[in-house]
Structure formats: C-alpha cells, structure tokens
Structure 1
Amino acid sequence: MTSTHRTPRGPILVIDEDASVINTYAPHLEACGYEVMTARDGHAATQLIAVNPPDLIISELRTPAMDGHSFFRHLQRRWPEIPVIVTSTTCEPTEVVACLRKGASDFLIKPLKNMDMLSLSVSRALREIKLKHQNQRYKELLEQRVSRSSEELKTTNRYLTELNRRLTEVVDSSRRLSSCVTIESFGTRLLEEFSHHLDASGGSLYIAGQEGLRLVHCLDGGHAPGLISYPVAKSSPFGYALYRKEPVLIGDIRNEGALRPSGYGGYHNGSFVIFPLQNQEGKPFGLVSLHGKKRPPFVNQDREVGGLLASYSSETLRAVRAMEALSKSEEKYKLAALTASDLISEWSPATDDLVWFGNIDAVIGSAPETRPTTMEAWLSLIHPDDRQRIADTYRNKTHCATAAPMDYRVRHLSHGWRHFRERTTTLRSKGGATKVLRACNDITREKNAEEERIIFELKMQHAQKLESLGIIAGGIAHDFNNILMAVLGHADIALEEVEGNPGPQKALNSIVTAGKRATELARQLLVYSGKGKLETSIVNVNTLVSDMMSLIEVSVSKKVRILFHPGRHTPHIEGNLSQLRQVVLNLLTNASQAIGNASGQIEIRTGKVFCTRSDLDACSMPVRPDVDAPLPEATYTFIDIDDTGCGMDATTRNKLFDPFYTTKKTGTGLGMAAVLGIIRQLRGTMTVDSTPGVGTHIRVLLPASLAAVENRKQPEAPPTEKPIRQQGGLILIADDEEPVRKISQRMVEKLGFSVISAKDGREAVSLYKAHRQKIRCVILDMTMPGLSGSEALDQIRIVNPSAKAIIASGYGSAPSESDLAADDSCSYLQKPYQISELKQVLREMLNGSGLPAKPE
C-alpha cells in the first residue's frame, strides 16, 4: 500500500564495533536495494542521525563508550519514530525481553547463519512503521469527519433552540396583548411586540373598513397613508399578501419584478414581511407590515415567528373589537354580541342574573331549560381545579373597569371539557347599578393544537437526533470497513510470507482476530443506520426460541429461572435468522443483567395479535419523520420478554435506543441500537414498559407471514476446493480509496492474475474500453464519486453485455436480490474481505458457463 503523503526514502544505519560484521551486513542490504550508513559506537551514530536521520537502525547491544541500553534511552528521547533492530551474541532471555520492552522492533542472535533473516527483519520493521504512520493518518481523517458531522448537528441544534426561544416569547407576547381593551392601544402594543420579535425599526397596522384599509398605528410615521382605498392592487405588497392569505416574505423589493414598490425613499433596505390578520372563516380583515430590519434581510424564521404572533393577534383583536363596540352603547354591544362568533354575556352581581347574547347552547351542549342563567350555575360547570380561582376573580374584580384575561375549563354537557378565555369589563350606570360584560372565546382547538405541537416537536427532535446518529454511524462504519480492508488484507499477505515462523504468525493471527471483531462492530453500526445487508427466509418463531434455549441458559446468570411459553398458533415471520437470534439474545442478556446477582425470573411468550392504528402509534420505538412509512393495521407475531429486574426510570427509557448509551461499565451501548435497526428493516416495532424496582416488559411486534417454513436440508460435507479454471488473465479494480485499491491489487496478484486499477467509475469505464479483450473480470466499489459501481457496470455492459463483475461495498448495501439472481455474471462482496473470500467469489465468477477463452 502506497501512502499519499510519502516522504523521500532514507538510509539504514548499521552500528557495530566489529568491522567484519559491518562488511557483511552492508553489502547484503545494498544488494536488497537499501542505502547503508555505518558507525562503530553510539556517539558516532548519534552524530550521523542528527545530520541524516535513517529509516531504520541496526545496532549491536554491546558497543563501546555507550552501551545498547543507554543508546535506546537516548533514541527514545530524541528520535522515537526510528525503529531499531538489536543484534547480539548473547541470547539471554532477560536481555531479549529488556530490549523489546524498550521499543526494539526485533532481536537477532549473532552470528547470522542466513542473511535472509536480516533482510526479512528489516522489511518487516519498515512495513510496521509505515503501517503505524498510515493508521495515524486514517485516525486523523476519521476524527476530522466526525468533527464536521458534530459541528453540523450543533448548528441545527442552535437553530432549533433559537426558534424555540422566540416561539416561547411569542406566547408571552400574546398574554400581554390580551390586556388591551381598545383598537388604538392594541395596535400600539402589537407593533411594539412585532418590532421586538422581528428586530424591525418600522412597521404599520391596518384594519379593514368600509372604504378601505385604515391605518391604526405606525412605528415610523410620515410615509404610511391613513387610508388605502379599495380595491387594493394585487401588484402591491399589501394586495399580494391579502390575495395569498398567508405571510409574505420579500428579501428585496427591488428584485421583485411582479410587485410594484410604494415609492417611499426612506426605507433602510428593500426587505419586507407582511402578515394578514384573518377571522375564523379565514377572511383577512387587516394586516401587519414590518420593514427596516436592523440586520437585513428578513429570513424564514422571522416569517414563522411573526406568523404565529399574527395568529394569536387575530384572535385577540376580534375580542378587543367586540369589547370596544360593547363599551360605546348597550344597543351596539348587544347587536355586536348577537353577530359575533364569540360568546358575550351580561352579569348583574346584585341579582346574579346572567344573560347570554351568543349561541351558548351550541358551545356547551345545553338546551334552553338547562342553560346557565346565574353565575352560580355557570361556576358549577367550571372545572373543579379552576372554579375557586374564577369565583375569587368575580368577587374581587367587580369594582375594576377591566380585568386581566382568564383561561379556564368548562364542562360540555355531552363531550368532556372545553377551554375558554374570558375578558371582562365592568360598567356602572348613573343610578349606581353594576353590570359585568363578559366576552368568552372557545380556545379548545388552539389549546389542543399547542399541546400537539409541543409533543410533535419533542418527537421530532428525538427522531432527528437518532437519524443524525444513524447517518454518522453509517459513515463511520463505511470508513472503518475500508481501514479494516487494508489491515486484514496486509495481515493475510503477511501470513503467507511468514509461513513456518510461529512468532510472527501468532502476532498476525491476533491482528486478524481483532480485525474480525472490529468488522462485527462495524456491521452492528450498519444495522443501526439501516444500511446492513439482509438475506431473509421464512422463520418459525417458536422453533427459533426453542433452538436458542441452550445458548440462552449459558448466557444468563445461574440464579435466573427462564420460562418459555410458546403460542399454539404463532404465525411465521420473514427475516434474517442470525439477526433474529441477535434480537432475542440481546433482549434476554439485558433482562439477565437487570436482575444481576439476585434470584429472578425471565418469561418468554410468543403469539399473534391484531394491532390497530392506536396500538401502533402507542409503541415505544422512535419513528423517523419522512423516512419510516406508517405500519399497517394487521396481524403481527409478538415475542414478549418479562423480567423481575431493577427496571428503568424515565431517563433510561428515553435513551434506550441511543447508540453508545449504556448503564453498564463494560457495555458498548450498541445492543439496543442494533435491535432497533433490525426491527426497522423488518417493518416491525416494539413496546417497552418498565417500573424501577419492579421489572421490565418488552414486546417485539413483527409482520406475520402466511408462507411455510422451508425444510432444512442436512448439512453436506464441504466440497473439495476447486481451482480457478484458466488461471491468469487481467482483472480491473476500481476503488476511490487508494489503500483499499492497493491491497485489493496485491490480493488479486497473489491469486495469479495481472491487475489494472482505476480511482473512480469513469476511469474504470475508460480502462475497460481500452483493454476489453484482455479483461476477464472487474471488481467495482459500490460508492465512488462521479459514477457509482452500479452505474459504471451499466456503461461497461454497453461495451460488453457479458462482462463479469464483482460489486464490493463497505456499507453492506448490495444490489437488489432480484437483480443478482437474474444476473449470473455479477456477484457481491462485503468489505472488508480477505483473500480466501475473494478467491471464492472469483472462482464462482470465472468457473461459470459461457466464459470467454483465456486470452493468449
């Protein structure tokens, strides 16, 4: 593998006081292509290294003036990156161990009977240091990518936090607007609130009248006309907003060809935002216009925040207009009350008479004989939690001209509770009699909408967080698989080169084992992100759990009793058998760990259940908006797992499916995240009920299948490995990752083929066109810039419809199963793959029927 940041190659320094040793080592190393420097002791070597640092040092343990141990300490302080091979006539184990602990790459016993041992040790040490440098670069690259993704998430979070803060302030503004009792005072306060929330210096409020739009208030007087006559031209910003019946955002009026500016020259910039005020039927009765953005222009978030404030304002302004009309004359307010959509009533405290001037029966479901005609009867309909507060307000505020708005709940005689907002004004006649005018708004719809909005926002934020983590997990797994491809590939090749040498073989086998464990971790990340490859079959759930019982009993504590209650008519399901085992085993392992060292019980049940829409909506598994389609109402196969463990609190339940979240000291936090990814791919869901100190109940719901389980064939003896027919020929490899491309090339060359490589899909197509007569097979990476592997293969098939191809991917997302089944000249290879897997796939491709003859 060739690094993209390669530095000029340096020499090898040989240190030995014995000139015959130097005269033996130097010619052999020079014959192997290395440049050689020599020194007789440690001091001379230090001076040479300071002038021309070597790639590698071969040093005698016993040197005059400065022994090998002192020399090692000096090297570690000044040049820790230079590998050292120690030579010595002594073979004392303590000496060997001491040198290796101090950082020596190898220890050779003199005299060397075979100089090939020296060249092998040198090449291995240089290769190891090169791999360390490359791994460090891969680590830095991965950290950079994770940092960029993290910054994007932080930016989104800051945006949502700012929007939530502004919306919260809008709710506070609506309460302040509710205290206004005249159109003029309302207009002044309304523009002040808009100016504050939208950071605007100018604006105006217009209300529809008989002749046109009448100016109620203006923040920057001198340019807004007092009356805009009907009809309002649609080509004007106001007319356009009234015609659209929705907020209008204009970034720069000078760039709007369809809208005509007013001609006023005092604007700081041409950015506007206009909000129509609408009645309950959706008809505009006024508008608010804002300009003079202090930091122009207005943005979409200003439009959203202002639109919500305009919606609140419309409701409040309707009540203010009604109250203003009522305060002018009794006849006028009665007429207004009878035609208004809100409830208006008059209460006489002296007699407790309550007279209604609106359709009270339609609002609370009463009849003329059950209609509340006294305040006592009205208070009996108010929710018990609100009743005393409202009664105290009536008793204490009857001497006030106006009272603050009151929100409370009123019982509908047939359909539960309704939310009301009431404003009161006290009038006194010349004779001293007191009457209280009450305007009541039914705000049930707004209250329910606000509660639904809050719940939706919480679900949206949680789903966005999980979706973002899924994207990051998939990207990390893809890059991780490419890195593991290089590590495992080089380890495979190195194992062949050191065959018969137990020491290096053991170390390399450890590398392969660790690499395979890392591969499993990457596959769990791919499953969580929804990009894992699944091969499905029809599975009998009862048989699945029964076959796992012996494994389950070994995996859980000996103090835990496991009971399995299989359902008699449990439907089959379609899924990947190994991943379904992983789901069951992960859930049972969590249940056992929740019980801990205490005695406890785990019960497993299977069966079928029909799930309605409300049942599915109540499930605990998070849903990704615009990604996960709603699950259908249907019959589902369930797997229930109940334990008597410690249970989970609300915080743990909310973070249950988050990747890398764990309450265990040694956990990875990927168990439940992998379960989530598997169940999502199977179009299922889960419910989780848990009480701290009592236990946990988990139900997995998977779509039931009516298909029968295929009979399992007895495993046959593995066939004798067949060689690849017509060994040799040219293979084309295309991959945008150079380390992967290089190690794939070495693997294919080890199998006896010639190789040409391309760094992307376009270059692969071009090379295939140039060498089509010689190329026997192409190996294409699934995800490449420009042309993907599938797209490149489509263009290659135009040149040669029978071209043999292998698609490789680190995402685990293969071409569709139907495509692979119909195309026997295309196969799939999951990264990271080893040389044995590559050999198997190449054998299947090149030993098939209809292959062209081997090129001469």
Structure 2
Amino acid sequence: MTLTQHTSQGTILVIDQDASVLSSYILHLEEFGYEVLSAQCGRSAIDLIAVHSPDLIISDLRIPSIEGHPFFGHLHKRWPEIPVIVTSATGEVSDVVACLRKGARDFLIKPIEDMAILSHAVTRAIREIKLRKQNQAYKELLEARIPQNSGKLKNTNRYLTELNRRLTEVVASSKRLSTCVTLESFGTRLLQEFGHHLDASGGSLYIAGQEGLRLVHCLDDGHAPSLISYPVEKSSPFGFALRQKEPVLIGDINGERELRPSGFGGYHNGSFVIFPLQNQEGKAFGLVSIHGKKKPPFIHQDREVGGLLASYSSETLRAVRAMEALAKSEEKYRLAALTASDLISEWTPATDDLVWFGNIDAVIGSTPENRPTTLEAWLSLIHPDDQKRIAETYRKNINCATAPAMDYRVRHLAHGWRHFRERTSTIKSKGGGAKVLRACNDITIEKNAEEERIKFELKMQHAQKLESLGIIAGGIAHDFNNILMAVLGHADITLEEVGDNPAAQKSIKNIITAGKRATELAQQLLVYSGKGEVETTTVNINSLVSDMMRLIDVSVSKKVRIIFHPGDHTPAVDGNQSQLRQVILNLLTNASQAIGNACGQIVIRTGKIFCTKDDLAACSMPMRPGVDPPLPESTYTFIDIEDTGCGMDETAREKLFDPFYTTKKTGTGLGMAAVLGIVRQHRGTMTISSTPDVGTRIRVFLPSSCGKSEEQKVPEKPPTEKLIQQKDGLILIADDEEPVRKISQRMIEKLGFSVITACDGKEAVSLYKTHQKDISCIILDMTMPGLNGSEALERIRALNPSVKAIIASGYGSDTSRSDPDSDESCSYLQKPYQIAELRQVLQKVLNGHGPSTPEEHRR
C-alpha cells in the first residue's frame, strides 16, 4: 500500500493485486495531477477508504480478501457517493451487467494498451462528481437567497433539479449502453436513449466508412439515406456539425441562411440537434441526429444533456466496435480452420502435445477418443515406407522458421491410405520454448488424378507409337508391293519366254511362289495399318470355327489338345470371313507355339455378352487417338482362346501388337499386328490376360449382327477365259516408280497393245490431251506426287467422261478407289499384279464385263 504526494485534482484509490498494473496506473494518473492511493487486497482498500475518503475508486474484478461482486456491493452500500470503475481481463457480459447493477460507473477491459482510455474514463467520472457537487452548492446557495427572490430561486432550483435528474438518467443510460456487444444493438439502444432523454420521436445514427457516412439505425424509417457519400456537403447540417466538432442545435432550419434543408417534408418542425461522436484525437467517426421533439423546439439543456450522452457513448461505441471486430475475427478464424482444405495443428515439442484446429476426424475417420493428440500418435498413422523419412524431417526442421513441404501417406481409419502434403513453421517464445504450426493438406484427389494422367499419357504414347508403326507399316507395304510388282512381273514374262526348259521354269516358279508369300506379308502389314480392304458378309462364328477344326488339328502339335465349346445362340457378325479366319488361325498358332513341345490344352469358347462403356474401356487393345471412335455399349459376339502355355511377362504384353516384334526364333512378328488391324476394321476390341508359366487367355469382341448368316457357297468353277476383243489400242500408264512403269509396259505390250507412260498425274493428263483419240484405256497409280490417281482421273474425265480407266495401288481398294459409284468404265487393280490378273481387268474394262474386285481377280 502506497500513497503519493497530494495534488488538487482529486484523490483516486487503485486496487489490483498485480504490482506492475498498479505502477502503470499510478504513473499515468499522477501525470494528470491526481493523488493516487493503491491497495492489493480488499481489506486494505476498505481501511484506506475509511481514512482518506477518495473521490474515485478503480478496482480489479478479482482481488484477494474480499473478491468480486460482494466487494462492490459493500462499497455501494457503505459509500454510495464514491464512483467505482471496474477493470477485468475476462470481459464477460455477465460480469459487466452484474458490476453495473452493483453501482459501478464504468467497466474497462484489461490489459489497457492505450492508457488514454483510462484517463478518459477517470476524467468523465471526476467531471460527474464535480458536476454533482456544483449542483448541490448551487442549490444550497439559492436556498440561502433573500426571500424577495424566492420565486426566481424556485425556478432556478427546479431547472437545476431537472438538469440533475436528467444527468443522472444519462449516467444510467451510459451503463445500459455498455452492455451492448454488437454495433446493431448499440445503435438501436443509443437512439432509444436519445429519444427518451430529448423527448423526441425521430433520429438516425451514422458511422463513418470508406465510402461515406453509413446508416446504422433509424428511429423513423423511410427518409434517412443508407449512405451519405464523401465529401459531405458543407452547407448540409451534417457537414456543418462535422466542421464544428461539437453539438449543433438548430431551432428552425428554415431560418438558417448558411444551412440548406434536406428536403424531407415529414418533420413535425424544423428544429433538430446533431451530436458528433469523436475518438481520442477529437476526430468525428459518427453522427447522431435527433428531430421530432414532442414539444418543440429543442433547448440549450437538450444540447448539454445530449452532448454528455454522446461523450459517454463515444467511448462505449469504440469498445463495442473493437469487441465486434475481435468476435468477427475469431469467428472467421474458427470457420477458416473448420472449412479450410488444410488441417491446421499446433505441436509443442517440449510436451509432445498436438492440438488440431481443423476437422481432423472427417479427414482420417477418427473420433475424439482415438484422435491423434501427440506427434508420436500421428507418426503411427503414417505409411511405414514414409515414417522414418518424416520423423527425421521433423527432427531437422524443428528449428527452421519455415520448412519445405513434404508429401507422405496417412492411414484413414476406414478407407485405406490418404496422401498429405505438409508445411511447417516454428515459432519461438521469449522463454526459449517453441511451437510448430503444421498445415496438412489432403492431396489424395490430386495424387490420384496425377497417377491417372500419367497412365493416360503412357497409354496415349503407346497408341501414338502404334499409330506411327501403322503408318510406317502401310508405307512399307506400299513400297514393298511396288518392288514385288517388278519381281513378279518380270518372272511371269520370263516364264513364258523360257520355253521348254524345265530347270529354268522350276526356278522361275519358285521366284513367283516366294513373291506371292512376300505379297501375303505385305497384305498383313496393310491390314495392320488399317489400309487393307474389308468386304463384309454375315458370318456365323460357330460354323467358322467348326470348319477350321480340321485345319487347326493339322497345324498344331499332336501333344496339344484342342477343345471347342460353342456358345448357345451365339450371334453372327458382319465381317470378312477370310480375315476372321486369319484372326482365329493366328491366335491358335500363337497358343500352340506358347505350349511348344510340352503337353497342353487350348480351349476355344464362343458366345455373346453385353459390354458397358466401362467394360470396353478396360480392354487391352490400344486405341488410336483421333482415329478410333469410342465403341458403343452393345451386345458383342466373343471368341475366347485360352492356352496352358508359357504365358507373357509385362514387357511382352506391352509390345504384343508391335509389328516385327516376336519372342520366337522363326516368327515374323506380324501375326498379332495383323489381328489388331483386322479387329480394328471390324469395330471390335480384345482383352488379354497372361501369367508367366501359367498361360494366356485372349478374348476377341466383335459387334453382333442383326442379320442371318449366309450359307457356305459351293465354289464355282472358274469361268472360261475370254479373249480381249480389242488388242490394237493405245494404253496410257502413269506411275511414279520407274520399275513399275517398265514392267507394266512389257505386260501390256505382251497382251498386244501399244503403251505410253507418264511419271506422275500431271504428265498423264497432258499426254491424254495429246493422244485422246488413240487411247483405249488408262492405268493410274493411286499414290503419285503432285496429282494422285484420283485427281488425275477427275481431270481426264473432264475431257472425256466415258474414259475407260484402271486404278492400281499397293494399298487396299477402300482407300484407293477413285469413285465408289463408278460404272464398268473404271476398275481396280491390286499391286503387285501378274499378267493374268492384268488380262482379266483389261477384259472387264474393255469388253464391259468381268470381275470388279481384287478377290474375284484371284479366284
């Protein structure tokens, strides 16, 4: 307990058990000239009050000896004339209300960072005390006046009594205002108090914002604008009040020359009063406007009473705004922690306490009972492959202000593993302790999406690789056919010219046989590249496999048992019978070679199945982006071939469809490539499952047909060859390959025609213009630089619509035919062709009949 030197400003007793708080209060109040008494407990304070009778008491809510509300009740009962200002670190609304009911004049929240708040509260309380003393002195003085002035004294006394009553009510109003915790409730209560004290029915409260004065509350709705934009006009009442920085009383606005009426016609009269709300620096941050006095006009006493209420309410309003801002900030932080994708937590290394601010239970499936509340418990949930790395990282980063992000997996208590990305920041206290703030973000969706993206990119790269291989294969087949054209053509002609030389004839026939085998390889490449022709019929899959069983039995090892389980009601398919036969034969050959010389079994099954989009997407056959449209959900006919052979590893499965890739010593690597091309052309797909040393199962899906399968036709006898009626005509041959032009010229001349040749389409058109009358037929290569065969034929037909033409190509007819609707004046010739095939096509074109497709050419 201490006592400072006496001053004339007044005596203040400060009660607080914290010596540092007492010291700061004493230093600040002494600077304003107050005599300051101090006590650290309730009993010492009562002794000091009894001896010194202070003018004001500042007491903490929690003090030793006599604590809390009983102490303030005792003070109010024993010394009601001494005002009490209560301080507290809690700021609970219930404490505020209880203290005010016990007689406290004000309530301040500790710690008081701005001591101006303390001095302002003290000054206000002291001013109230002095005002009461002055009123009492005036009253006593007036009562002592001479009797002749008794009437005047009575009026003055009544005035002062009324003023004292009103001031007392203002103090009570300030207490009620201090219980408000939101700006909205404060604004409503404030205008109610102003209306009550000034006997008015209208008014509004405006608070300064960034854009202007914004309306908080209005007693009489309907006329006050929600926003008065900056700058506020100087000639307006509000502008005038802001410039004056003090209450403005206007008896009749219509009689004011400098002020402009607002234009609102709903006022009962032109009298009103405006009170600025000011901060510690004297700057106005709000305005209270009161009008509609029941007994107008407003008088000077209204200005003084309202000014005192405005002064009280300014301080309270600042506290309310600060509390509301703090509450909003805390709520935002709480909501942010609950709704953020990051799980915010705080780890104290010294105690290993882990406190979560986010909804950790929703993320990892925990409950309050098994929630990880220590770092050790959290590490136990981390994937075993990540635990050691993460624990070491925690140890290294414990002294880092900010550490790099780290990714790891955390076990969800019900749904497997989740992927997390964590960032940590370490905050050190003055005492040397540390707390680590952790932000854990669940990136499972992103990780899964990244894995799917990588898988998709690999799948796309593989499909693009196969597409590139298909383009290469098509180009090789085309060039290969041109080479074979020269080989087979010269061999064919030579065979006719050698005469009766058996040895030479045998050698040339061997050359032709080898050339035809090479042609078959080229056809397989064309099928793989998707450029081979497909002429479809309705094919019965069960019948197709049954018819092939004899051929299959001959082509596979005797140690291999072949079992066929035809499905009941297996739908037919629309396809090319010879190509589908090739698919089955290639798959069975691969299955037999996978078994080798060992004993084994091959099972063939057929049937039907409805495939969804997910089923089709899971198939093993690579799709070409931008080329192969997605397969529709539908009923598919399947051919299932399962063997007990050596199986395939991952590498073999990935390269299964690559042309020229084979694991066999004698294989060409074109079997599965051809199967891929055929299935693609039939708008089908495949699934492949294989296990090394167990076996392989390949299932081919083909769209089911709605039509009935055609009965197998009895092969017709080859038609009797007819001679070409015209043999003295001129034939124009256009081909960019010189060996092809030369051998084609020899074949045509062998058939009795004259020949002119062109190296490209442009030269062909030019030669036709010159020799149009003499040319009987033109033979155009489909792929030539500049003008291709189709474009050259189009220009020639512009000269002669009835020109007879043959389109020759190393590709299939579907990609080479110049006009699908062409008549018998145009036909197709597949390279490499022999002289017999050339004779048949010329017979068809020149005589107006004969075969029209490559298959019929070779029949």
TM-score > 0.5 by shorter chain? yes
Match for residue 726 of structure 1?
726
Alignment of 1:806-845 (within 5 A): 806-814=806-814, 819-820=819-820, 822-845=822-845
1:831 Cα deviation from its structure 2 partner: 0.4
Question: What pairs up with 1:273-284 in 2 under 5 angstroms?
Answer: none
How big is each residue's C-alpha offset from its partner over 1:658-712, in whole Å with a ceiling of 9 and x where there is no partner?
2222222221121112112211222222222111211111111122211211233
Q: How many Å separate the matches in 1 of 2:586 and 2:712? A: 25
**Residues in 2 aligned to 1:726 and 1:370: alpha-carbon distance in whole angstroms:** 99
C-alpha change, 1:713 and 1:821, in structure 2 (3 Å) is farther
Match of 2:522 in 1: 522
Aligned to 2:220: none
In 1, Cα distance between equivalents of 2:694 and 2:340: 56
- Aligned position for 1:754: 754
Structure 1 counterpart of 2:111: none
Deviation at 1:743, TM superposition (A): 1.3
Conserved in 1, the CA contact under 8 Å of 2:732 and 2:756? yes
Q: How many Å apart are 1:643 and its aligned residue?
A: 1.0
Q: Is the 8 A contact 1:595 1:644 kept in 2?
A: yes
* Alignment-derived partner of residue 546 in structure 1: 546
The CA deviation string for residues 740-771 of structure 1, in whole angstroms up to 9 with x for no partner, is: 11211111121122222211111212222232
Q: Partners of 1:609 and 1:331 in 2: how far apart? A: 59
Instruction: Rate the CA distance shift 1:643–1:713 in 2: closer, same or farther, 3 A.
Output: closer
Q: Is the 8 A contact 2:807 2:816 kept in 1?
A: no
The residue number in structure 2 matching 1:675 is 675
Distance in 2 between the 1:560 and 1:606 partners?
20
Gaps of 5+ in 2: 1-328, 851-859
Go from structure 1 to structure 2 and tell me whether the alpha carbon gap of 1:338 and 1:608 turns closer, same or farther (over 3 Å shift).
closer
Distance, in Å, in 2 between the alignment partners of 1:393 and 1:763 is 77
Moved more, 646-655 or 589-598: 646-655
Residue 447 of structure 2: SS of its match in structure 1? helix
Question: How far apart are 1:731 and its partner, in Å?
Answer: 1.6
Distance in 2 between residues matched to 1:457 and 1:849, nearest whole Å: 53
Q: CA deviation at 1:603?
A: 0.6
Question: Secondary structure of 2:704's partner?
Answer: strand
Structure 1 residues 247-326: aligned runs within 5 Å: none
- The one-letter code of the counterpart of 1:736 is D
Query: Contact 2:736–2:760 at 8 Å: present in 1 too?
Result: yes
Match of 2:459 in 1: 459
User: Where does residue 717 of structure 1 map in the other structure?
Assistant: 717
Deviation at 1:332, TM superposition (A): 12
Alignment TM-score, normalising by the size of structure 2: 0.56
SS at match of 2:424: strand
Paired residues for 1:98-247 under 5 Å:
none
CA positional deviation for 1:555: 0.2
Contact 1:736 1:784 in 2 (8 A): yes
The residue type equivalent to 1:474 in the other structure is: G
Is the 8 Å Cα contact of residues 531 and 814 (structure 2) preserved in structure 1? no
CA distance in 2, matches of 1:393, 1:521: 61
Q: Give the conservation status (yes or no) of the 8 Å contact 1:814–1:828.
A: no
Q: Secondary structure at the match of 1:344?
A: strand
Shift of 1:375: 5.0
Corresponding letter in the other structure for 1:515 = G
5+ residue gaps, structure 1, are 1-328, 851-856
* TM-superposition CA deviations, 1:43-86 (whole Å, max 9, x none): xxxxxxxxxxxxxxxxxxxxxxxxxxxxxxxxxxxxxxxxxxxx
What does residue 305 of structure 1 align with?
none
Evaluate the alpha carbon distance shift between residue 738 and residue 359 of structure 1 in structure 2; reply closer, same or farther with a 3 A threshold: same
Query: Distance in 2 between the 1:559 and 1:336 partners?
Result: 73
My pick for the range that moved more, 724-733 or 699-708, is 724-733
The residue number in structure 1 matching 2:594 is 594
How do 1:208-607 and structure 2 match up within 5 A?
342-349=342-349, 353-358=353-358, 360=360, 363=363, 375=375, 378=378, 382-383=382-383, 386=386, 390=390, 398=398, 405-411=405-411, 417-607=417-607
How far apart are the structure 1 equivalents of 2:796 and 2:818? 20
- Pairwise CA distance, 1:436: 2.1
Inter-partner Cα distance in structure 2 for 1:730 and 1:500: 32
Alpha-carbon distance in 1 for matches of 2:396, 2:497: 96
1:675-694 to 2 correspondences below 5 Å: 675-694=675-694
TM-superposed CA distance for 1:520, in Å, is: 1.2
Cα deviation, 1:544-603, whole Å, max 9, x if unaligned, reads: 100000000000001111100000121111222111111111111111111111111111
Residue 70 of structure 1 corresponds to none
| CA gap 1:355/1:564 in 2 versus in 1, 3 angstroms | same
Distance 1:798 1:815, change over 3 A: farther
Deviations 1:163-216 (A, max 9, x none): xxxxxxxxxxxxxxxxxxxxxxxxxxxxxxxxxxxxxxxxxxxxxxxxxxxxxx
In the aligned structure 2, how far is the partner of 1:754 from the partner of 1:765?
18
TM-score (norm 1): 0.57
TM-aligned CA distance change 1:612 to 1:816, over 3 Å? farther
Aligned to 1:620: 620
1:487-515 per-position Cα deviation (integer Å, ceiling 9, x unaligned): 11111112222222323222222221121
Equivalent AA in structure 2 for residue 762 of structure 1 = K
CA distance in 2, matches of 1:512, 1:389: 70
Match of 2:700 in 1: 700
Spell out, residue by residue over 1:227-268, the C-alpha distance to the aligned partner (whole angstroms, 9 max, x if none): xxxxxxxxxxxxxxxxxxxxxxxxxxxxxxxxxxxxxxxxxx
Q: Which amino acid aligns with 1:844?
A: K
> Any conservation in 2 of the 1:820–1:827 contact (CA below 8 Å)?
no
* Contact preservation (8 Å) 2:686, 2:699: yes
Structure 1 distance, partners of 2:817, 2:758, is 27
Partner deviation per Cα, 1:701-727 (whole Å, 9 max, x = no partner): 122211211233333322221112233
Instruction: Pick closer, same or farther for the CA change 1:392–1:548 going to 2, 3 Å.
Output: same
Q: 2: distance between equivalents of 1:574 and 1:818?
A: 25
**Aligned 1:6-25 pairs, distance under 5 A:** none
Change (3 A) 1:333 1:718: closer
After superposition, what is the alpha-carbon deviation per residue over 1:384-412, rounded to whole angstroms, capped at 9, x for unaligned?
65457656765786566555533222355
Alignment of 1:747-826 (within 5 A): 747-814=747-814, 819-820=819-820, 822-826=822-826
- Equivalent position SS for 1:538: strand
Size of the aligned set, in residue pairs, is: 522
More displaced, 388-397 or 429-438?
A: 388-397
- TM-align CA RMSD: 3.2
Secondary structure class of the residue paired with 1:598: coil
Partner of 1:140: none
Matched, 1:639 2:626: no
Q: How far did 1:379 drift? A: 5.2
Between Structure 1 and Structure 2, whose CA radius of gyration is higher?
2
The worse-fitting range, judged by mean Cα deviation, of 600-609 and 385-394 is 385-394
Tell me the CA shift for residue 622 of structure 1.
Answer: 2.2
Displacement, 1:813? Answer: 4.2
Counterpart in 1 of 2:736? 736
Q: Is the 8 A contact 2:531 2:815 kept in 1?
A: no
Report the AA paired with residue 552 of structure 2: I
SS in 1 for 2:408: strand
Number of the residue aligned with 2:107: none
1:659 alignment partner, SS class: coil
CA change 1:693–1:849 in 2 (3 A) is: closer
The sequence identity of aligned pairs, in percent, is 79
The answer for the alignment partner of 2:224 in structure 1 is: none
Secondary structure (helix, strand or coil) at the match of 1:705 reads coil
Instruction: For residue 627 of structure 1, report the CA deviation from its aligned partner.
Output: 2.5
665-674 or 833-842, which deviates more: 665-674
- After superposition, the Cα gap between the structure-2 partners of 1:713 and 1:647, relative to the gap in structure 1 and judged at 3 Å, is closer
Offset at 1:438?
A: 0.6
Partner SS for 1:625: coil
Shift of 1:542: 0.5
